[in-house]
Structure 1
Amino acid sequence: MANIKKKLIFTVLLLVLALAMCISTAAAASTTQKNTTSTYKAAGSPTTTVTVTISQLDKSAESVKAYIAKNKMIPDYVTISGKQVTMPQYLYLLSYGVTNLNSKKKSSVSVKIPINKAPKPSQTVKSGTLTKKEYVKVAGNLKKFVDTNKRLPNFLITSRGNMRYESMIDAYTRIIVFYGDNKRLPNTVAVAPWETYLQPTKDAPSTSATIKNLAATLTKGKTTTLAKATAIFNWVRDNITYTDPMYYNTKKGALGTLKARNATCCDTTHLLVALYRASGIPARYRHAYCYFYPRDANDIDGYDEGGWFGHVWAHVWVNGKWYDADAIRLKNTFGTIKIWNTKNYSNRGTYATLPF
């Protein structure tokens, strides 16, 4: 009888132990599954359908616009309502949103397929503007292409030339941000090969901490691009004197000019371009053979004899327009040149990087 009881107790213990192990294993499996699902949702997936409201799209567009202004490049991805979205998906959502808003539809937009990058992107776009009619049409063309090919096109044809996806992201991000601020689509959108005129160079190192800090100081409190551009111009014009005796071509670069506080046209323009690009404002170089007016009796700012000289100044992209920025003399203002004849000069070139 004692042996039977012992066997019964032993059997019961084995059953209890086995049951406990099963419960433990099941709980562990459940926890792993929950963690996997949670991680999947948190990180997002290119194959998951992403549906966003126009308000959420606007919020993400504002963050992308700020990122571009700060880093002078397109981000690798954007997070919309907690979901990580690739930039091809983001551009698709932008184009979908624009076409819907043009049709007075404010419903959510979705991207249901993985979208690959363009295999061989190219661009010939020239600075200018697209009308609302055109940019809506281009957005529709983009959406149709992606729906059919499951990838971004190498470029999209516009009246300003072929646009690759980075320039498209920049333009359509600004369109959605404008809609969020004004509750309507803009009548036009400025387009430009912005990535070319925002890149740092050896003589205009816009990513230098010295340049970035000065640019931030000069533009602090300025709420418009025009106000920022004017503030930068005025500071360079008022604080960098023209070197006498004159020298030719680049000698100091932006940082050397800032340290010396004097330069001729090339180096003064390097400093201008560096500060503009550090502020997210596209800028380039103009080179021409110009007739400078002679100095009169009451003029403290100009050449004594006047005459023809090779000259370099900055071109600055603000609100869909290129502005002249010639900071070598106090007479000049942002967008206006008074020291040489702007109606009669010989153009020698326009550059993203000054070659001399």
Structure 2
Amino acid sequence: MNELKDSIVLILLLLFVVFLVGCSYATDITENNSFNNEISQNDVFKGSKSLYNYINKNEKLPEYVEISNRKYSMGQFMYLMSKTVINSQKNDLNNITIPYNIKSVKNPTGSSINGEISSKDINSYSKAIINYMDNNNRPPNYIKSRLGNIQYETMIFAISKFLSKSSNGKLAKITISVSRKSPINNNGYTIGLFSKYIKRDSLKKYLSSTKNAPKDEFIKKLAKKLTKGCNTKLEKAEAIFNWVKSNIKYFRYGNTKYGAKKSIKIRKGNCVDNSHVLVSLFRASNIPTRYVNGKCKFIKGDLDGSTVSHVWVQVLINKKWIVADGTYQGNRLGYVSNWKINSYKLLGIYSCVYTNTAYNINLIKYNRNNN
């Protein structure tokens, strides 16, 4: 019995020692963090260049900026860039204190911005940003300027461009051309290609199985596999879209050659067959989908420089018809980058597409809806 008591006492002592060591380690981490609350202006310049390149390429803001294995939210980095602009223009080379507990931007809004922004302008905007964030602990929705109200996202793009083009924050000027409807200002979405859902339009035809876009066991099985672990229609749609654009290689030819099933099996298809694949998988996942036909001027990919008839799809999510064009790797669900979205000619919106013998996409026969 005494031996058992001694063992229990020994175990308790060991647990107490482990607890003390753990507390000591936790304190060290806290203390180390307390000394890591500054960032150099040089690091902000580097981060700004990385941020600008990302936005310029993807036409959207990233979730964060990473510098030396440390992640900064967009709000934090907007503050750091603004401080760097102000300090560098008055030759203050000191490190910048990192802001914490920055809230998300509340309701960003603004105008289309097109014109030159001088270093004096950038400095003025940066001061306004710092003043607002110091008082509200969140980024401003917009900044007033002579070019109009510069929306939060466009402002981040402008400051990152300014700093990335300058090694000392004293660049003379930059040119900014960002539409209010630009993907940059709309979470990376090409909202100009979205359509509002009309309630009187029946969704039954947008969920039906067709010859070229069937909902048979083969399609259902693949759709289920691709959407495993997805909880919302948006997550399912993104999973399907990303698989299609990565696995169905684009080939140029007219009309429909393969349909959804064969295109999936041979991993290739033109814009019509690519759309068939998307339609069949979306509809098999109970996501209403329709075809869109337009004459588009291509600026990237295999069709670069061509103006031709083109087919893509729209999926209904949260009462909006969202664009989905899986023919180019740089496209995303809700975003198109391989053809000019502001100058295309809409030819029609359809629930299904049939094939005739003509080897010309313009002669495809459509089952057209009314809206």
| TM-score normalised to structure 2 length | 0.49
Quote the offset at 1:196 in angstroms: 3.4
> In the alignment, which residue of structure 2 is the partner of 1:237?
none
Query: Is the Cα contact below 8 Å between 1:116 and 1:151 reproduced in 2?
Result: yes
| 1:48/1:113 contact within 8 Å kept | no
Conserved? CA contact 2:330–2:337, under 8 Å: yes
Letter of the 2:176 counterpart: V
CA shift in 2, pair 1:277/1:209, >3 Å: closer
1:172, distance to aligned residue in structure 2 (A): 0.9
Question: What's the CA shift string for 1:313-343, capped at 9, x where partnerless?
Answer: xxxxxxxxxxxxxxxxxxxxxxxxxxxxxxx
Match of 1:22 in 2: 13
Separation of aligned partners in 1, 2:143 and 2:177: 14
Q: What amino acid sits opposite 2:22 in the alignment? A: T
CA–CA separation in structure 1 for the residues paired with 2:169 and 2:136? 31
Shift of 1:21: 2.5
CA contact (8 A) 2:76 2:98 kept: yes
Deviation at 1:36, TM superposition (A): 9.2
Determine the C-alpha separation between the residues in 2 that align with 1:262 and 1:281. Answer: 10
Q: Give how far 1:193 is off.
A: 2.3
Greater gyration radius: 1
The alpha-carbon deviation at position 176 of structure 1 amounts to 1.8
Amino acid at match of 1:23: L
1:31 to 22, 25, 36: 22
Match of 2:72? 85
Q: State the one-letter code of the partner of 2:178.
A: P
Indicate if the aligned counterparts of 1:52 and 1:81 stay in contact, CA closer than 8 A. no
- Counterpart residue type for residue 9 of structure 2: A
Q: Could you say what secondary structure the match of 2:82 adopts?
A: helix
Deviation at 1:164, TM superposition (A): 1.7
Counterpart in the other structure of 2:95 = 108
On the 8 A contact 2:181/2:190 being kept in 1, the answer is: no
Distance in 1 (alpha carbons) for counterparts of 2:339 and 2:88: 29
Are 1:65 and 1:174, in contact at CA under 8 Å, matched by a contact in 2?
yes
* Whole-angstrom CA distance in 2 between matches of 1:33 and 1:192: 54
Match of 2:155 among 165, 168, 181: 168
Q: Is the 8 A contact 2:86 2:126 kept in 1?
A: yes
CA contact (8 A) 1:125 1:161 kept: yes
Q: For residues 208-247 of structure 1, what are the structure 2 equivalents within 5 Å?
A: 209=245
| Matched residue type, 1:104 | N
- In 1: Cα distance, 2:338 partner to 2:301 partner: 19
* Residue equivalent to 2:173: 188
Summarize the alignment of residues 1-356 of structure 1 with structure 2, pairs less than 5 Å apart: 10=2, 14-15=5-6, 17-28=8-19, 30-31=21-22, 34=25, 50-180=37-167, 183-193=168-178, 196-198=181-183, 199-200=189-190, 209=245, 251-253=294-296, 285=342
Asked whether the 8 Å contact 1:276–1:283 carries over to 2, the reply is no
Query: Counterpart of 1:285 in 2: which secondary structure?
Result: coil
1:138/1:251 CA distance change after superposition, 3 Å: closer
The 1:52/1:260 distance shift into structure 2, 3 A limit, reads closer
Provide Cα deviations, 1:165-221, integer angstroms capped at 9, x if missing partner: 1111111112222223xx4521112223267345547979xx9959xx99xxxxxxx
**8 Å contact 2:111–2:179 — kept in the other structure?**
no
Contact preservation (8 Å) 2:296, 2:343: no
User: Is the partner of 2:342 in helix, strand or coil?
Assistant: strand
The answer for unaligned runs of 5 or more in structure 2 is 184-188, 195-241, 251-292, 311-324, 346-371
**1:122 positional shift:** 0.9
* 3-state DSSP of counterpart to 1:122: coil
RMSD: 5.1
How much has 1:280 moved relative to structure 2? Answer: 8.0
Change (3 A) 1:68 1:142: same
Residues 16-64 of structure 1, C-alpha deviations (whole Å, 9 max, x = no match): 65144222333156337736975x899x9xx998410012112222322
Corresponding letter in the other structure for 1:55: N
C-alpha separation in 2, matches of 1:153 and 1:94:
14
Amino acid across the alignment from 1:128: G
User: How many angstroms does 1:259 deviate by?
Assistant: 7.6
Equivalent pairs: percent with the same residue? Answer: 17
